[in-house]
Structure 1
Amino acid sequence: MANDVTNNLNNLNLEKCDSAGKEDDEDIVNPWNVVSKSETGVDYDKLIRRFGSSKIDDELIARFEKITGRPAHHFLRRGIFFSHRDMHQLLNLYEAGKPFYLYTGRGPSSKAMHLGHLVPFIFTKWLQDVFNVPLVIQLTDDEKFLWKDLKLEEAISLAFENAKDIIACGFDEKNTFIFSDLTFVGQCPEFYQNVVRIEKSVTFNQVKGIFGFGDSDVIGKISFPAFQAAPAFSTSFPFIFGKSKLPCLIPCAIDQDPYFRMTRDVAPRLGYNKPALLHSVFFPALQGAQTKMSASDSNTSIFLTDTPKMIKNKVNKHAFSGGQATVEEHREKGGNCDIDISYQYLRFFLDDDEKLKKIREDYTSGAMLTGELKKELIDVLQTLVAEHQARRAQITDEVVHRFMALHPLVTKSAT
């Protein structure tokens, strides 16, 4: 349990972390595994209590809109990004004219990314635009080499290909730096120096308690968390920030939070700011919230390489339905949007709030059938994926090399 683990962490006062990522027999949530027994997926209110984060409420959303002068992203309005750490403090600094930067990442385990992989990058792009701040994106090809059955060269290649999909989300090299751990660490001694500082601050017993590592795990896994923590410290990138110690904001899925609970506890001891975080929910598999998406099973999600026909077939054949067994029964009882995957995907990718509300009302009342709901989703996803593919086709190897070259970014100076 959280308190038991914390008491055994040799004075590293971690923020309510448990090694297995679970509080009871229901949900398992950790950086490598997410399992829920509920048709509606993970209980996020319970997860907030267990992890000790704060819920994104109407007050925080209102602050976003007031400070940026822009409507809140629908990921915020719909609770897709639902939890945070220290966002009010970060917004206080921003209001006072103090600069910060963004950091997010991707573990490149497959050449083809799926729709769920887009979620943090879509939101990060919005954050970057509304706050006008620089961004660093870490590709943890070293992690995937250590955890997956991949050759080193394959991991590096996957990172390079994934970078093309990330860039296609609309990022600008002027204020975005993308790096692969396996190619960057040797180029920047200050980054590795911060890694070593973090490694010296966390014991083997502590990292086992945080991440659940066992005695048979390879030693590379034990040291890897320091590599994911280091980008949260601006001095890791002297070619961007010089020696300035800027605050950092990390948008990520909630399963990555253990890394950054460790980072936040180490930061003050090293003289750095604790990073702030914004946590997203998990993107469900087509077969429902109880099924895990897998790159080895292309039918569990919509991939960014899918054709319009493939998207149509996958949604029609595999998208879990919250509807009733017969048309007559559905007209009478209506459907359940909370478990219907077509509706859940529309929550992520249909921008129009009024249209989404009408779809929910009609499907819940039985006025809209499952086939009609699936058609709405197919139209949205075919357009989304086709537009992404068109942008990605313009991303050459040379463009990726420019994003990954050590280069200064457009930053605000501190007041």
Structure 2
Amino acid sequence: LLLKLKVEYKQITGQDYKAGCPPPENLPVPDNGPSAEDATEEDEVNPWSVTTTNAKGVDYDKLILRFGSSKIEKELVDRIEKVSGQKPHRFLRRGIFFSHRDMHQVLDAYEKHKSFYLYTGRGPSSEAMHVGHLIPFIFTKWLQDVFDIPLVIQLTDDEKYLWKDLSVEECHRFAVENAKDIIACGFDINKTFIFSDLDYMGSSPQFYRNVVKVQKHVTFNQVKGIFGFTDSDCIGKISFPAIQAAPSFSNSFPHIFGERKDIQCLIPCAIDQDPYFRMTRDVAPRIGYPKPALLHSTFFPALQGAQTKMSASDANSSIFLTDSAKQIKNKINKHAFSGGKDTVEEHRQFGGNAEVDVSFMYLTFFLEDDEQLEKIRQDYTSGALLTGELKKILIETLQPMIATHQERRKQVTEELVKQFMTPRPLNFNF
């Protein structure tokens, strides 16, 4: 109800609600204005489905209100720069990571020389990952490097078995294949533990004990409310959220943290995973653990437009990490949704719409130079840059990036994967 009222307040006043600042008494209430429910119903966001009717994509300001998280303001980005001593990552500078929970608390502790660890994950539903899957890993690697901290990466092969029409063996094989792409992002083997749920949960009593603690403190009604489960869902789905919660607690990894349960966890993830961690944060204090902090990213748009997130099952919805230079070029030229006008003459006169143009959206993720990106935006909006020319810039940005990734992946041996996935002490100073 509070979140609904906050949405209505913002619609009427144009400002975010601040506690202790009631609206003026003579504030006009618009007749037949959209209710908070109407305002959010067009965006469906949950861990398995993301849809919106808006060509610009999901309305993230409304999502922040709906989920009850906090917007990453410039003040927080500046503070991360000050504390880390590094220029903020382009994902922070450009609002790609746009929302957080308790990041100020993490930085407060870090300034007092109390460290934290990172946790992120991947649901391995196919052998090939696409460029959108790299977003949390690119950012997590940057966080690991600048804060010099350990990282755990959960491969939820059990989840994919429960949700998809796949065998247990297929899901586990996909987990190992996906681990190769993750390792190719450049993570430090001395500070990174990658684990498959199907492997690790059976070999770690401490991890399973935390799963059971979470399961005891979450009711069936709660998971139905959070995740939309129904009476016909298998019981594995209903109990799975506790497994995704367990890595948020440091003593789930005794080979890394010993018996310590006071080390806070920071989770970089896409915003659709937040329901799992809202549940986790609710349970944590009741079982004696610190709440995990979160950094949420926006969704990486499908080539066909930002109305949906990409699907690993549709080869033309994205650029895959296995695509050749020719495939990348053909997919972008043929399928990338354009914000340009129908004719060159119209485009030169009126300019294009960078806010809905997928090629420009992709460049905001992968082009490092802020000034170059802004010039491209201005030129495209003014009509000086045509859609074909914009697509060419994206092709020339992605081709070498993916070729480099493919070369790195070739260097990832089965033995290296095994080392990353073996429970062992990590090197860090707490």
Match of 1:262 in 2: 279
Residue aligning to 2:95: 79
C-alpha separation between the residues in 2 aligned to 1:22 and 1:145? 35
* 1:132 pairs with 2:148: yes
Matched, 1:39 2:46: no
Question: 3-state DSSP class of the match of 1:263?
Answer: helix
Preserved CA contact (<8 Å) 1:36 1:42: yes
1:214 maps to amino acid = T
Q: Structure 1 residue aligned with 2:362, among 345, 348, 358?
A: 345
Does the Cα contact within 8 Å between 1:23 and 1:50 map onto a contact in 2? no
SS at match of 2:98: strand
Deviations 1:371-399 (A, max 9, x none): 00000000000011000000000001100
Aligned to 1:229: 245
RMSD between superposed Cα atoms in Å: 1.3
Residues 1:286 and 2:308 are matched in the alignment: no
Q: Distance in 2 between matches of 1:26 and 1:132?
A: 41
What is the rounded CA distance, in whole Å, between the counterparts of 1:121 and 1:85 in structure 2?
19
1:345-394: CA deviation from partner (whole Å, max 9, x where unpaired) = 00000001111011001000000000000000000000110000000000
Give yes or no for contact 2:50–2:308 (8 Å, CA) kept in 1.
Answer: no
3-state SS of 1:363 partner: helix
> Which residue of the partner structure matches residue 325 of structure 1?
342
- What is the Cα deviation at residue 24 of structure 1? 3.7
| Change beyond 3 A, Cα 1:108–1:126 | same
Task: Show the 5 A alignment for 1:2-21.
Answer: none
1:169 and 1:388 in contact (8 A); partners too: yes
Q: Does 1:366 align with 2:388?
A: no
Per the alignment, in what secondary structure is the counterpart of residue 41 of structure 2?
coil
2:170 aligns with 154
Q: Is the 8 A contact 1:204 1:222 kept in 2?
A: yes
Report what 1:381 is aligned to.
Answer: 398
Aligned 8 A contact 1:315 1:378 in 2: yes
Among candidates 185, 199, 207, match of residue 191 of structure 1: 207
Alignment partner of 1:217 out of 210, 213, 233:
233
Distance 2:88 2:96 in 1: 12
Indicate conservation of the 8 Å contact 2:270/2:299, yes or no: yes
1:158 maps to a residue whose letter is F
Q: Name 2:9's counterpart in structure 1.
A: none
- How far the C-alpha of 1:290 sits from its partner, in A, is 1.5
Structure 2: runs of 5 or more not aligned: 5-36
Task: Report how many residues are paired.
Answer: 397
CA distances 1:300-352 after superposition (whole Å, capped 9, x unpaired): 00000000000000000000000000000000000000000000000000001
Percent identity over paired residues: 70
Give, in angstroms, the shift of residue 23 of structure 1: 6.5
Partner of 1:175: 191
Q: What one-letter code is carried by the residue in structure 2 that aligns with 1:91? A: L
Deviation at 1:186, TM superposition (A): 1.1
1-structure distance, mates of 2:193, 2:40: 40
- Aligned residues of 2:57 and 2:308 also touching (Cα < 8 A): no
Gaps of 5+ in 1: 5-20
Where in structure 1 do 4 or more consecutive aligned residues deviate above 3 Å? Answer: 1-4, 21-24
User: Cα distance, 1:279 vs. partner?
Assistant: 0.1
Instruction: Output one character per residue of 1:80-131: Cα deviation in whole Å (capped at 9) or x when no partner.
Output: 0000000001100000000110000000001000000000000000000000
Distance of 2:340 and 2:308 partners within structure 1: 18
Distance in 2 of aligned mates of 1:23 and 1:51: 14
Q: Residue in 1 aligned with 2:290?
A: 273
Partner AA of 2:411 in structure 1 = Q
CA contact (8 A) 1:2 1:50 kept: no
Pair 236,289 (structure 1): closer, same or farther in 2 beyond 3 Å:
same
| TM-score normalized by the length of structure 2 | 0.91
Q: Is the 8 A contact 1:22 1:29 kept in 2?
A: no
* SS at structure 1 position matched to 2:302: coil
- The residue type paired with residue 159 of structure 1 is A
Compute the displacement of 1:22 (Å): 9.5
Structure 1 counterpart of 2:333? 316
- Report the equivalent of 2:425: 408
| Structure 2 contact 98–295 (Cα < 8 Å) conserved | yes
Is this contact kept in 1: 2:303–2:335, CA < 8 A? yes
SS of the aligned residue for 1:187 comes to coil
Contact kept? 1:254, 1:280, Cα under 8 Å: yes
Q: Aligned partners of 2:80, 2:51: CA distance in 1, in Å?
A: 32
The residue number in structure 1 matching 2:352 is 335
* SS of residue matched to 2:202: helix
Q: Of the candidates 253, 256, 260, which is equivalent to residue 270 of structure 2?
A: 253
Shift of 1:3: 7.0
The answer to whether the aligner puts 1:97 opposite 2:113 as a matched pair is yes
Alignment partners' CA distance in 1, 2:311 and 2:361: 18
The 3-state SS of whatever aligns with 1:105 is: strand
Report what 1:51 is aligned to: 67
